Amino acid sequence: MNIAEVVIDVSSNELDKVFDYIIPANLCDKIKVGSFVLVPFAAQKNIFGFVTDIKDNSEFDNSKLKQINSIARDDVNLNSNQIKLVDEMCKKFYLRKIDVLRLFLPPDIRKQKSVTTTISYVKVIDYSILEKFNFRKNAIKQIELQNYLIENSSETKFLTSDLNNLFGNTTVKTFLKNGLLEEYLEKKQNTFAKMAIKNQNILLTDNQKNVVESVENNKENIFLVHGVTGSGKTEVYLTLIKNALEKGKTAIMLVPEISLTPQIYTRFVNRFGNLVAVLHSGLTPVEKYIEWERIAKGEAKVVVGARSAIFAPINNLGIVVIDEEHDSSYISESNPRYNTYEVAKLRINIENAKLVLGSATPSIDTFYKATRTNEIKLLSMPNRVGKANLPELILVDMHEEILRGNTGIFSDRLLTELEETIKNKKQAIIFINRRGFSSFLRCSKCGYIPKCTSCDVSLVYHKIDDELKCHFCGKRFKAVNVCEKCGNINMRNGGVGSQRICEELSNIFKNVKILRLDNDTSKSKDAQISILNEFSQTYPAILVGTQMVAKGHDFSGVNLVGIVDADLSLHFGDYRSAERTYSLITQVAGRAGRSDEKGKCIVQTYSKNHFVFKFAAKNDYVGFFEKELNLREVTAFPPYTKLVRILISSFIEDLARHTVVKVFNELKILREQFKEAFVYLDAMKSPVKRIQNKFRYQILIRLNKSKEEILKQISDIVLQSNTKNVIMFIETDPQNLS
């Protein structure tokens, strides 16, 4: 008798285990490890589940075991390596099995929706017959369709849906019935899959060759390519992937979602053609399924995508590349919480592949592993390709600007450089890490600031829509002109957003094209492509944007970058604030001067003497790293300790507070038993106390690195304290403590 171990598709701590089911005789040859099945469970006759193992016997009484009903989907089957990865992730991140299993599924599969991957076309069978065909005089729609087809006889095919919309389904069916049209189906293709492959003979620089050879010839399996912006890291990745394909292997190339620009995937499709599959949030569910299916069938050998692409169903993996490895988007901050680097490390060890990380500004943790613990092999690319030089970074003290009487958004130096750029018919990028017109409205009399009704955050004013928006939950409110507290009619804008930057620049440079790229302007699927294409073809032009302009772009005409409020990320209550600020400045500055002409980056700051700006101005990452590492050691923060956050939230504040107290008291007892393991332990309200009407509390722990095994006991305490109507998560080394 064959017994299947099945994980039930229900998110519940109590059900986070495997259940034994009998495999019926008619399914013995069809069901295997990784199959997606339907089983009876409790009072439910049909519930989804995953087969994670098959065995000969069960420890339970076989007479009490139920049978698997059927296979839920023939097109879904995880392989043994993916099942191993699920198990390893659950152990590493203290996750439920089903939450991890769902990461491997394409959209809508669990909803049992049928995904249509074909599209219907019709073609005219014989135009001479069509022209002679006589319709009744009152058959107006049929005559119109006849004329339409004759007038467009140069077309080889017509979308059936288009003709249905224009002339009606009945009319089209009449043409099909009379043999005037023939219907056929074609498999849908994503836009990038139609691009033609271009033969490119790229000559690598000596530095690029050395990096490629080091990855190919070293026994180590994890590498960090530390290369300045414009040093040619992408060409190194392309070469390594080409080498993997020549060995019969496959590849995964990860980039931050924000860096998935048309330039990136165009470059990969141009090199590898239809062997490339692209996975990111901008695709529709059907497009994602098409790509997932191509990968699963082995039609695609190279997967390019954001962090979720690490779960792509690709076989025979040879190499994983994580570009811009420092980016915080590689950390999942929603359930299930995981670190993409750690997942990639687990996957390459299971599949005997190599992992290449790349960045101009590696995370402190990664560079520490490369220079102190030798967990990662360090490879350097210190120079830009060709004649291009790194941009000159100029710090502007905004305190001095105010003392000189300049209270505007832009410093005199930035305006002067913008005028020179426009005069020379070049391009500029202006970066502000805040969208909207202003970050908040404030009453000039009593200081009242409108806040979201569901989240404990101030609302952002968007002038174009004349609305106040919450950037946490997305709620929108009418803009207010009168203070709700005191009735004052003078509400002032506080802070500056990308909308206001555009408005100010339009007033100063009236005949210059000003474009904006942020989440507000790129909501539609093709909006980002349209904005970037327009900018690339317009001289002179200024592109204003948030982090969307910081990475993945290579415009030869950009010789100036301006950073309007460089301090914005520096003063967050987070031990990583300096690291983030250094990275952001370096990445944004790197957009300038990518041709032979040297670029400039104007950094406006109120903290000119802060060490972050001094090291950034010299492009001295190693100096910054040593300074920051010293601070981390003195203050006992990662990488010298393991930071753990237990996040507890509930719609009922008293319930959340009670749960925090309960867990905290249990942890204090644990600390008494293992004093040497705990460096820090405290409980508090989260900095953002409420999001989407859920009250949020947190417990912060710093553990001695050598005592990380205590994490298992911390996890057990959290699981045993599970309370109805309360959500609890454990995060290790979280990127965001808000």
Under the banding of pLDDT at 50, 70 and 90, the label for residue 106 is confident
Among 48-57, 271-280, 562-571, 648-657, whose mean pLDDT is lowest?
562-571
At 348-399, the pLDDT tens digits run 999 999 999 999 999 999 999 999 998 999 999 998 887 677 889 999 999 8
What is the token pair recorded at 44?
């439910």
What's the CA gap between 549 and 543, in Å, rounded?
A: 8
β-pairing, 36-41 vs 70-71, is antiparallel
Non-local CB neighbours of 331 within 8 Å, separated by 6+ positions: 337, 338, 339, 340, 734, 735, 736
pLDDT confidence of residue 112: 54
DSSP state of 35: B
What's the CA gap between 422 and 538, in Å, rounded?
A: 11
Decide if pLDDT at 111 tops 70. Answer: no
Decide if pLDDT at 257 tops 80. Answer: no
Decide if pLDDT at 571 tops 90. Answer: no
pLDDT confidence of residue 387: 67
pLDDT confidence of residue 449: 83
pLDDT confidence of residue 456: 83
Query: What predicted TM-score, i.e. pTM, was given to this entire model?
Result: 0.85
Decide if pLDDT at 197 tops 60. Answer: no
Measure the CA angle with vertex 706, ends 702 and 709; round to 5°. Answer: 80
What's the CA gap between 530 and 535, in Å, rounded?
A: 9
Decide if pLDDT at 195 tops 80. Answer: no
Answer yes or no: are the C-beta atoms of 20 and 58 closer than 8 Å: yes
Q: Quick one: average pLDDT of 504-524?
A: 87
Write the DSSP assignment of 310-379 as a string of letters.
GG----SEEEEEEETTT-GGGB--SSSP-BHHHHHHHHHHHHT-EEEEEESS--HHHHHHHHTS-SSEEE
Q: H or E element: which one contains 22?
A: strand 18-22
Give the chain's domains with CATH numbers: 3-104 (3.40.1440.60), 118-187 (1.10.10.10), 199-379 (3.40.50.300), 392-435+497-632 (3.40.50.300), 436-496 (no CATH), 641-732 (3.30.70.600)
- Spacing of C-alpha 72 from chain mean position: 30
pLDDT confidence of residue 445: 78
Percent of the chain residues past pLDDT 70, beyond the cut: 93
Decide if pLDDT at 439 tops 70. Answer: no
pLDDT confidence of residue 158: 93
Write the DSSP assignment of 485-522 as a string of letters.
TT--S-EEEES--HHHHHHHHHHHSTTSEEEEESTTT-
Nearest to 619 by CA among 638, 595, 635, 603: 603
pLDDT confidence of residue 562: 95
Distances (CA, A) of 498 to 408, 431, 519: 15, 8, 10
What is the token pair recorded at 224?
């960090």
What's the CA gap between 585 and 551, in Å, rounded?
A: 11
What's the CA gap between 640 and 705, in Å, rounded?
A: 6
pLDDT confidence of residue 729: 87
Among 152-156, 469-473, 520-524, 662-666, whose mean pLDDT is lowest?
520-524
Decide if pLDDT at 618 tops 70. Answer: yes
Burial of 505 (0-12, 13-18, 19+ CB in 10 A): buried
pLDDT confidence of residue 302: 96
Cα dihedral value 21, 23, 27, 30, nearest 10: 80
H helices then E strands: how many in the chain? 21, 30
Cα dihedral value 120, 124, 125, 130, nearest 10: 140
Q: H or E element: which one contains 153?
A: none
What's the CA gap between 251 and 377, in Å, rounded?
A: 20
- Which residue(s) pair with 183 in the sheet? 122
Angle, in degrees to the nearest 10, between helices 621-635 and 577-589: 170
pLDDT confidence of residue 246: 96
Q: How many CB atoms lie within 10 A of CB 326?
A: 23
Decide if pLDDT at 259 tops 70. Answer: no
Answer yes or no: are the C-beta atoms of 288 and 315 closer than 8 Å: no
At 578 the three-state DSSP class reads helix
What is the token pair recorded at 541?
């032009």
At 686-721, the pLDDT tens digits run 988 999 999 999 999 999 988 878 999 999 999 888
Under the banding of pLDDT at 50, 70 and 90, the label for residue 647 is very high
In degrees and rounded to multiples of 5, residue 526 shows phi and psi of: -105, 5
- Spacing of C-alpha 116 from chain mean position: 26
Average pLDDT of the chain is 88
pLDDT confidence of residue 719: 85
Top pLDDT among 199 and 644 is at 644
Contacts of the segment 165-174: beta carbons below 8 A, 24+ positions apart: 167/141, 167/142, 168/141, 170/141, 171/141, 171/142, 171/145, 172/122, 172/145, 174/142
At 432 the three-state DSSP class reads coil
At 723-734, the pLDDT tens digits run 889 988 888 888
Beta strands (DSSP E) in 556-621 are 558-563, 600-605
pLDDT confidence of residue 424: 93
Q: Before 336, cis peptide (omega within 30)?
A: yes
